[in-house]
Structure 1
Amino acid sequence: MFRSLRERNYRYYASGQVVSLTGTWMQRAAQDWLVLELSGGSPGALGVAVALQFLPTLLLTLWAGVVADRFDKRRLLVATQTALGICGLVLGLLDVTGLVRLWQVYVLCLVLGCFSAVDAPVRQSFVVEMVGPEHLTNAVALNSMTFNLARIVGPAISGVLITAIGTGWVFLANGVSSAAVVGGLLLMDPSALHRSNPPPKERGQLGAGLRYVRGRRDLIVVMVLVFCIGTFGMNFENSFAVIARNVFGRDADGYGLLITMLAVGTLTGAALAARRSGRSRPRMRVMLVGAAAFGVLEAAASLMPSYETFAAALIPVGLAVMTFTTSANATVQLAVEPTMRGRVMGLYMLLFLGGKPLGGLLSGWAAEAFGGRSPILLGGLASVAAAVVGAAMLVRRRQPGVVRSRRLG
């Protein structure tokens, strides 16, 4: 289950990620709460903050994939992680000194989004360099476990700290936590990394990556699913803040508990994916079933009558969404040429995160127009529809072969 931890470089990376991601999730919960406080509880303002944080993904992630294929990923990650930590420190200082205003939070969301847009494809494509292709699926699952362990611990700590000492100190703690992942990257042995030769420096590398994906229907199906579910189905944080505060009348700790309950499910799903990784390669069928199950369970959760039942319903939602995301990520990385991995993962992260601005604005509008539960219900229905479309695309690809074989027989 933990085979990829045999690699020394990956152990350094994973250890730093546990600390840094916990701080990241603390900041995400505190940031959403701060925006609601500064805006008088406006879901629309929260949607704007989410949109600004993910808007740079639309502009930068594809080019970051080209950079990831061309340059040293470890050094790139040291730079981006340092910058992300500085953003947390600046927001924390503004908050604890009482100078913070809503427009400043918006600006820092945009700056944070710029560095995150570069960091994401570099970080995703760096995993295979640490562990090699044979342990990639296991490492992706363990990364998901780390991410979701932080999602459990971070918001819970954040909810308590917000109530006790305010949001500003949470931002400062996140800024300091970035030192852990930067330290892990600096301690790595570069000679032990499983690097491939970079593609030759020439014009049109971005276009070549897009043409590569366009010629692969299996990759297109994954990309379509990732975009639809990432945009419409996975706007959890801003939707949960609205549901906790405006639907159920809960404080920050109630919001943190909702994220924690979701993370219990996603951590369970990641652990199951890590166990499966030793038996077989990721399969498209598992990804499609995970996507459809997530949509059904999310829509059902939106109809829960009480805070307690809604929170409990988030556990199976988390398990299903993790089944989808781990299988999708590993499927893409193992299916592509090594020299294309950075560009393909750039497109993957663009579609996975780039729809967040649209999703954030739509969820804010839906919450104000139809009530706080509506973004969860509509996101679930959209995810089911995307899974059905993806399955139909794969069936259509296989059907001509079936017809031909019958004729030849």
Structure 2
Amino acid sequence: MSSTLPSGPYAALRIPEFRLYISSRFCVTLAIQIQSVVVAWQVYAITKDTLSLGLIGLAEAIPSIGVSLYAGHVADVVQRKKIILLCIGTLLFCSAALLLFTLQPGDFFSLYGVIPIYSVIFISGVARGFLSPAFFSFMPQLIPRELYSNAITWNSTLWETATIAGLAMGGLLYGIIGVTQAYTVDVVLTLIGLLLMSGVGNKPLPPVTTEEGVTEKIMAGLKFVFTNKLILSAISLDLFAVLFGGAVALLPVFAEEILHVGAPGLGILRAAPSIGALCMAFYITHHPIKKDTGKILLYCVAGFGLCMILFALSTNFWISLVILVASGGFDCISVIIRGTLLQTLTPENMKGRVSAVNHIFVGSSNEIGMFESGVAARLMGTVPSVIFGGCMTIFVVGLTGWFSRSLRSLQRVH
């Protein structure tokens, strides 16, 4: 049977439903990234407070983490396409609400401040908490197991492409044509993503696991992750790297006060890591990692931390841009290795729950990392806080490499 499968670097793209899936995810991701830039710039313009930027991440992380474990269970017992459609519909509602807030901005924000924006981000956090495990567990139902690695690489490539375009578009739309028009584009793209996902066929759920009750099923997923040393090491590594090493939440401060490039420059800076990630993903598509996978993962996360330190020290826009591009290349390798590990080592009927744990470890750590960055910047100053985060990332890599022999010796993910 495997001899009849599509082959080559474009194998997964030859499957029509997979193309619809990644096209939908592309549009939704594009919309989310545009929204993230516009919200960050809008909140900072209203408050002029670095902590307010961190609170954006916290407003999304709290509900996302809160629902993740239950969302993973739901993804293993409810048709995953239905969950995805409901979540994208909720994100569409949130985008429309942000658009409506801008129609009479003067009196509205003077009366309520940024609380309505945080409230919408909170709702979107709930939706994304359910969406992540549903997306993760639905993808392998669209492709043969032999194409997991290729599909994950293309999924990452399209995600990075959407991130590049979305972050750049967010800054440009906000800076050139205004906040209302930027949110309008956000709404249209989310709607397109919803329509594309509607074209993917329903897939039957795999046989449910034997545990009785919601709590027992959730605990089974947690036990699987915490007893699998390879998975636990990989997601823990990314957790601390993103938690301490990211400077994304503070980019509005760097753009305005250190690099002096304004809103369009912010969009370019936000897109820079994804440019590096896209180039790396395209390279790995044609030259897959075949040996020393564990060591490569450790080196790349350490390289990411080093990039954050160098970025903090730079006062030149172009040097900062190159450093952020390099950081995205390092991060991409980590994403592909971790994703392939999770898909190949996790049983089909536990993918939702295991993905939920991964979302808590890695996905929500982006938002918590934004809050940590905001607090650290308030206490230590913008530049010292980013240097500290980069140093902590390298320290965590050293600890993980020392204690996780199974990760150090990992040669290839099958």
* Separation in 2, partners of 1:314, 1:89: 32
Equivalent positions of 1:303-322 (< 5 A) are 303-322=313-332
CA deviation after TM superposition for structure 1 residue 52, in Å = 0.6
Q: 1:78 aligns with which of 56, 80, 85?
A: 85
> TM-score if structure 1 supplies the norm length?
0.90
1:272 match: 283
Counterpart CA distance in 2 for 1:207 and 1:88 is 34
Matching residue's letter, 2:149: T
Paired positions, count: 394
| Aligned mates of 2:29, 2:406 — CA distance in 1 | 41
Confirm or deny that 1:54 pairs with 2:61: yes
Corresponding residue of 2:338: 328
Q: Is the 8 Å Cα contact of residues 12 and 184 (structure 1) preserved in structure 2?
A: yes
Equivalent position of 2:293 in the other structure: 283
Pick from 263, 266, 278 the counterpart of residue 255 of structure 1. Answer: 266
Contact 1:231 1:353 in 2 (8 A): no
SS in 2 for 1:246: helix
Per mean C-alpha deviation after superposition, the further-off stretch among 97-106 and 252-261 is 97-106
- Report the residue type matching 1:164 in the other structure: I
Aligned counterparts of 1:210 and 1:282: Cα–Cα separation in 2: 28
Contact 2:301-2:394 at 8 Å conserved across structures:
yes
Aligned to 1:227: 239
User: 4+ runs of 1 displaced by more than 6 Å?
Assistant: 396-399
Answering whether residue 199 of structure 2 is matched by residue 164 of structure 1, we say no
SS of alignment partner, residue 95 of structure 2: helix
Aligned to 2:39: 31
Q: Are the equivalent residues in 2 in contact too, given 1:56–1:117 (CA < 8 A)?
A: yes
Alpha-carbon distance, 1:119 to partner: 0.7
Deviation at 1:198, TM superposition (A): 3.0
Mapped contact 1:33–1:241 kept (Cα < 8 A): yes
Matched, 1:68 2:75: yes
Q: Which ranges in structure 2 are unaligned for 5 or more consecutive residues?
A: 1-8, 410-414
Report the Cα offset of residue 63 of structure 1.
1.1
Q: Once the 2 structures are TM-superposed, how far is the Cα of residue 93 of structure 1 from its aligned partner?
A: 1.0
Partner of 2:131: 119
TM-score by length of 2: 0.89
Aligned residue in 1 for 2:3 = none
Rounded Cα–Cα distance in structure 2 between residues aligned with 1:89 and 1:197: 38
* Conserved 8 A contact 1:299-1:381: yes
How many angstroms apart in 2 are the aligned matches of 1:369 and 1:201? 47
1:74-153 → structure 2 map (5 Å cutoff): 74-98=81-105, 99-100=108-109, 101-153=113-165
Matched residue type, 1:255: L
Of the candidates 245, 262, 267, which is equivalent to residue 256 of structure 2?
A: 245
Identity %: 20
Distance (whole Å) between structure 2 residues aligned to residue 318 and residue 358 of structure 1: 19
Question: Structure 2: how far apart are the matches of 1:17 and 1:207?
Answer: 29
1:181 is matched with 193
- Distance in 2 (CA, whole Å) between partners of 1:102 and 1:86 is 18
Instruction: Please say if 1:19 is aligned against 2:30.
Output: no
Whether contact under 8 Å (1:246, 1:372) holds in the other structure is no
Ranges in structure 1 where 5+ consecutive residues have no aligned partner: 400-409
Residues 43 and 53 in structure 2, CA contact (< 8 A), matched pair in contact too: yes
Alpha-carbon separation, structure 2, partners of 1:25 and 1:126: 22
CA contact (8 A) 1:235 1:356 kept: no
- Aligned Cα RMSD in Å? 2.2
One-letter amino acid of the counterpart of residue 217, structure 1: K
1:276-324 deviation digits (Å, cap 9, x = unpaired): 44x7499333322221221122222222232221112111111001111
Report the alpha carbon displacement of residue 79 of structure 1 after superposing the two structures with TM. 0.5
Residue in structure 2 matched with residue 218 of structure 1 by the alignment: 230
Partner of 1:199: helix, strand, or coil?
Answer: coil
Within the alignment, does 1:360 sit opposite 2:370 as a pair? yes
* Contact persistence 1:20–1:178 (CA under 8 A): yes
What is the CA–CA distance in structure 1 between the aligned matches of 2:355 and 2:14, rounded to whole Å?
A: 25
Aligned residue identity for 1:231: L
**CA separation in 2, counterparts of 1:37 and 1:397?**
44
- 1:153 aligned partner, one-letter code: A
Contact 1:297 1:316 in 2 (8 A): yes
**1:225 positional shift:** 0.8
Distance verdict in 2 for CA 1:149–1:35, change over 3 Å: same
Aligned match of 1:209 in 221, 224, 229?
221
CA apart distance, 1:164: 2.5
